[in-house]
Amino acid sequence: MDGGWAEPDCQPSPCHSPLLRMIVQRPPAHVLAGAIFDEQGRVLIAQRPPGKHLAGGWEFPGGKLEPGEERIEALTRELEEELGITVHSAEPLICYEHFYPDRHVVLDLWLVTKYTGIPQSLEGQPLQWVAVNDLEKAGLLDADKPMIPALQRVEAWALGCRIG
């Protein structure tokens, strides 16, 4: 992908609300997620398992950035652990902050441009392939909904990203 794609700024913005300042006294959790498309142009989403924050909601697969880890390394590690795929290349797509009542996260979605393997649930969470235009109805977590317009812009391009 070319055409001047700049890496999103993933630094937390200053908080002006007293409530938000209380929440962000702890560093935000930085979460990397992958937008993985199939041959029909559908994107993969995963359901949050029981016992986790917002269990039952749907999200893009991925997980937390570990201390000292590069963003692409975290994405690659998380998708291998969660889905059993090997990421060969990915591009940053959108990065933003979300404030829950009890936590602050930085959500960092990457378009997986080349991968090998067939995504499968290695952690027991349900998976589903969804047309980008159906994501609004898929039960996505509110925090993931800002990702939909970014995905709509790249949907046609993303066909055929899987190799091998």
pLDDT in tens, 127-146: 999 999 999 999 999 899 99
- 3 part of a folded domain: no
- 9 part of a folded domain: no
pLDDT greater than 80 at residue 65? yes
Residue 26 exposed, middle or buried by CB count within 10 Å (0-12, 13-18, 19+):
exposed
Closest CA to 146 of 112, 107, 110, 113: 107
- 129 part of a folded domain: yes
How large is the average pLDDT for residues 30-48?
94
Q: How far apart are CA 13 and CA 104, in angstroms?
A: 11
Going by pLDDT thresholds of 50, 70 and 90, the confidence category of residue 25 is low
| 112 within 8 A of 44, measured Cβ to Cβ | no
Going by pLDDT thresholds of 50, 70 and 90, the confidence category of residue 93 is very high
- 2 part of a folded domain: no
pLDDT greater than 60 at residue 151? yes
| Mean predicted lDDT score pLDDT of the chain | 83
- 7 part of a folded domain: no
Host domain of residue 76: 18-154
Going by pLDDT thresholds of 50, 70 and 90, the confidence category of residue 7 is very low
- 42 part of a folded domain: yes
How large is the average pLDDT for residues 84-107?
92
Going by pLDDT thresholds of 50, 70 and 90, the confidence category of residue 49 is confident
| 85 within 8 A of 121, measured Cβ to Cβ | no
How many domains, in total, are found in the chain?
1
Q: Is the four-CA dihedral 152, 162, 45, 8 of positive or negative sign? A: negative
- 23 part of a folded domain: yes
Report field, pTM of the whole predicted structure over 0.95: no
Strands (E), 2-152: 29-35, 42-47, 58-59, 62-64, 86-99, 104-116, 127-131
pLDDT greater than 70 at residue 161? no
- 122 part of a folded domain: yes
What pLDDT is recorded for position 5? 37
CATH value at residue 48? 3.90.79.10
How large is the average pLDDT for residues 24-48?
89
What pLDDT is recorded for position 53? 75
Pair of tokens at residue 41: 């142009």
